[in-house]
Amino acid sequence: MAWVLALLFIFAAVAIAFAMSGLYGWFPLAASAMARDYDDQFLLTLLLTGFFFILMHLILSYIVVRFRGGRGPASYWHGNIKWVWAVIIVMALLDLGLAVGSESLWAKLHLTGSPPNVLQIEVVGQQFVWTSRYKGPDGRFGRVKRDLVDDAVNILGLDPADCESSSRIADRFIEGLADLGVLVVDVRAEIAALPSPPYWRKDLHMDFQAHELTASALFEHLR
């Protein structure tokens, strides 16, 4: 029975270490230039902790087999301070090595300047959701306000009063429709040229002149 229990300990240790080692293909695909560095650091940490995990299970299995059947009374051993300090020093050096490696990786990412002419993207992360926004043709982001952030309708807190933000939202929407093969007629320039706001002030719906302009643009495009 002791041998069976020891083998179960060893099998469980190896199986868990293998599943958590990253060799089973559960790392996500690399999406950045530094993704590989992060994966390597993560894998190194798992391999070191997995090594000691298996070592402890081997020691446990040895104890189960060695002292099975009541061979010898239980005893408490202490006094070899050299072994204690040796273990403490080894563990401290391993922890320090992992800390230095991870901190240098963090500094390389956050403290190193971006290369010139790099594409800047703002990303807001939530659970299972990543929302990105890009700069417009003028090289600027649209205006945002923290008090406008709404998880349901305005995750980024874009200011609807900012024409630049509204235009960029419309640009992305039109690009998405075009990618789906949907015909899009952009009349923003014509509406912006109108002498007065093209909507009813009470409910902000399009007024008669906006409907007339939109209908004319559709007619010209479809005829």
Long-range contacts of 107-115 (CB under 8 A, 24+ apart): 108/34, 108/37, 109/34
Range of the domain at 153: 114-182
In this structure, are 6 and 106 located in the same domain? yes
**Other CB atoms within 10 Å distance of the CB of residue 6:** 20
In this structure, are 16 and 92 located in the same domain? yes
Q: How many domains does the chain have?
A: 3
Non-local (6+) Cβ contacts of 43 within 8 A are 21, 22
In this structure, are 100 and 34 located in the same domain? yes
Question: Is the pLDDT at 37 greater than 80, yes or no?
Answer: yes
Kindly report the pTM of this predicted structure: 0.46
More confident of the two residues 169 and 214: 214
Per-residue confidence (pLDDT) for residue 166, from 0 to 100: 65
Q: Which band of pLDDT confidence, cut at 50, 70 and 90, is reported for residue 79?
A: low
In this structure, are 121 and 206 located in the same domain? no
> 175 and 186 in contact (C-beta within 8 Å)?
no
Is position 146 within any domain? yes
Per-residue confidence (pLDDT) for residue 5, from 0 to 100: 66
Is position 97 within any domain? yes
In this structure, are 124 and 65 located in the same domain? no
Question: Is the pLDDT at 24 greater than 60, yes or no?
Answer: no
> 174 and 168 in contact (C-beta within 8 Å)?
no
> Could you tell me which of 1, 10, 13 has the C-alpha nearest to residue 62?
10
In this structure, are 25 and 60 located in the same domain? yes
Question: Is the pLDDT at 148 greater than 70, yes or no?
Answer: yes
In this structure, are 24 and 45 located in the same domain? yes
In this structure, are 100 and 12 located in the same domain? yes
Helix or strand holding residue 169 (H, E): helix 163-179
> Could you tell me which of 16, 47, 50, 119 has the C-alpha nearest to residue 39?
47
> Could you tell me which of 108, 132, 113 has the C-alpha nearest to residue 122?
132
Average pLDDT, the chain: 76
Is position 81 within any domain? no
Per-residue confidence (pLDDT) for residue 18, from 0 to 100: 67
> 54 and 17 in contact (C-beta within 8 Å)?
yes
In this structure, are 46 and 128 located in the same domain? no
